[in-house]
Structure 1
Amino acid sequence: MQSNSAAARPVSYKLDYIASSKLPTPWATFEIHIFIDRATAKEHLMLTLGELGDGAPVLARVHSECLTGDALFSQRCDCGAQLESAMQIIAAEGRGALLYLRQEGRGIGLVNKIRAYQLQDAGADTVEANEQLGFPADMRRYDLCKPMLDRFGITALKLMTNNPRKVAAMENLGIEVAERLPLQVNRNAYNENYLSTKAAKLGHWLKERL
């Protein structure tokens, strides 16, 4: 299981809020809010629905960008299905937040992610592929969630995740995780090894079969 040491060392991210707008989707009309990281110039976004600053735990998903899964419907991962399911669940609740972080390929970027796919096609698992390219198994950071949540007065979450690092990261940022809700969807023949590696090497809370 991967160490939570990265999650345990929060830093102060300088995130500038830029603009908000309505975002109609098939499930609800969300508010979309755009932030820019001063250090990297990366844009991060947050979808919100309903009143969030009343102190009650907010149903939330912290989702890292996956162009291939989120936009191109790749079945190699469960990312796109998790994104869609989270939006549907928040819409049904009538209240919640989705933080969309620009951390493609577990933080290694799109080009290196496709290079990692090439290594996986040759037999490496996702962790081995990243390491063969000279990267850690997972380079994502969640510190930038804090200023995004602070803007809406969110101090406690009902967090939709299978990833123990996300729970630890939120708690180390001073955000209470009042409840952890599993989000296991779209296990298929193409992502079976991907999901098994998540469980075996990264400690994700996943069932062997849906």
Structure 2
Amino acid sequence: MTTSTAAATVRTRVRIPLSFPDGYQVTAEVITFNGLADGAEHLALVLGDPATAATPLVRLHSECLTGDVFGSARCDCGPQLREAVQRIAATGGVLLYLRQEGRGIGLYNKLDAYALQDAGLDTYEANLALGLPEDARDYTAAAQMLNALGIGELNLLTNNPDKAQQLRSLRMSVTRTVPTGVHTTPSNLRYLHAKVQHTHHTIALAPMASLVG
């Protein structure tokens, strides 16, 4: 990760009506960019009116095909995305949808890691067993996107301290972090506990000893 960012520019702005399976609907201004450091097709979704917020609420959401699209219960990504869209729309801000599947290791590698998790490894151990980083994400492009939108100061919607640390190292002013909800299922409890143990996510969970199996 670098400590400064080259300039990116807005490429396209388009309004898209969003509709979620539970019936929630909202319109987002979806923005694409030129000049992003990693060359990926990241998106910004402007929700509500950020200009009316003293400090805009921002979520860095890493793409998760299995959770966001297919509703996989092995992670909490889909519910976090749904929650973030509504909370940001209510206060005004931006959701950055970052093409960083599997914490940056890619979809196929993520599914390979799932197979190792089925054999007993946790999500971070599985990545390492594949010869991959525990978390390969770099938020340089996220800082470029925010700068291109004129956002230098923000409240960050996250349970992950690394996101705030990386943004601050990229000269973004993170006024405060706002925790997301805790979205548990019987299938994702070990995954959530691994987040707490390995990367110190701020998630309140029952002790692992209380889990069955």
TM-score by length of 1: 0.88
CA–CA distance in 2 between the matches of 1:55 and 1:183?
19
Task: Tell me the secondary structure at the aligned position of residue 107 of structure 1.
Answer: coil
TM-aligned CA distance change 1:37 to 1:111, over 3 Å: farther
Give per-residue Cα distances to partners, 1:15-42, cap 9 Å, x unaligned.
4532110011243211000125566542
TM-aligned CA distance change 1:47 to 1:168, over 3 Å: same
TM-score by length of 2: 0.87
Which residue of structure 1 aligns with residue 132 of structure 2? Answer: 135
How do 1:121-132 residues align onto structure 2 when only pairs under 5 Å count? Answer: 121-132=118-129
Task: Tell me the secondary structure at the aligned position of residue 171 of structure 2.
Answer: coil
The percentage of aligned residue pairs carrying the same residue is 44
**Alpha-carbon shift at residue 110 of structure 1 (Å):** 0.4
Q: Which has the higher contact order (CA 8 A, sep 6+)?
A: 1
Contact 2:45 2:95 in 1 (8 A): yes
Which of 9, 13, 20 is the aligned partner of 2:13? Answer: 20
TM-aligned CA distance change 1:166 to 1:38, over 3 Å: closer
Pair 1:184-2:190 in alignment: no
The alignment covers a number of residue pairs equal to 201
TM-aligned CA distance change 1:104 to 1:156, over 3 Å: same
Which residue of structure 2 aligns with residue 81 of structure 1? Answer: 79
Pair 1:165-2:187 in alignment: no
Q: Runs of 5+ in structure 2 lacking a partner?
A: 19-23, 207-213
Q: CA RMSD in A?
A: 1.9
CA–CA distance in 2 between the matches of 1:206 and 1:164?
11
Which residue of structure 2 aligns with residue 104 of structure 1? Answer: 101
CA–CA distance in 1 between the matches of 2:95 and 2:119?
35
CA–CA distance in 2 between the matches of 1:45 and 1:126?
26
CA–CA distance in 2 between the matches of 1:175 and 1:119?
37
